[in-house]
Amino acid sequence: MNLPDSLPALSTLQGLPLNKELRTNEAEFRFDSLATHMKSVKTNIAFAAEDCTSVIKKISYDTLTNSFAGFSVPLNDRIPATLHYQTDSFRRLLEWFSREDYSPLINIYMIQRITNMQVSPNSFLLSAFGANNEYKSIDIIRR
């Protein structure tokens, strides 16, 4: 069944004031939100999964954090740097566009709760960030 205009456009959804807990910033791990989420269904058992998939290379600007998403996020001690591409400098932005890698991949971490409910609960997005699949050997060893 086709229902034209039944769903709002993506630009409309992005403009809506959303609950802070529903927002996801690139490379941010939402452990506090996960704890709240797990308590809401009265379970502390879950499966965790990591996946990396290709995406169309695109840089976008987040007005709430004043940061840019879509570049390959650098790792600091195997952890992606949160809000690494945040700046007020146009010169710095031009430098990023000319020197930094546009992310061809997105790396996501998902949590699937295990409950005794008849209906399986929705998965929880723990983190997502742009990656270029380039790692040093020490990064692989430390995993």
Q: What is the pLDDT of residues 48-107, one digit of tens each?
A: 999 999 999 999 999 889 999 999 999 888 889 999 999 999 999 999 999 999 999 999
pLDDT in tens, 59-73: 999 988 999 999 999
CB 126 within 8 A of CB 111: yes
In which domain, by residue range, is 127 found? 23-142
Q: How many domains does the chain fold into?
A: 1
Quote the tokens at residue 36: 């709240």
83 assigned to some structural domain: yes
Q: What is the pLDDT of residue 1?
A: 46
Q: Is residue 86 part of a domain?
A: yes
**What DSSP string runs through 63-116?**
TTTTEEESBPPPEETTEEPTTTTB-S-HHHHHHHHHHSPBPSEEEEEEEEE--S
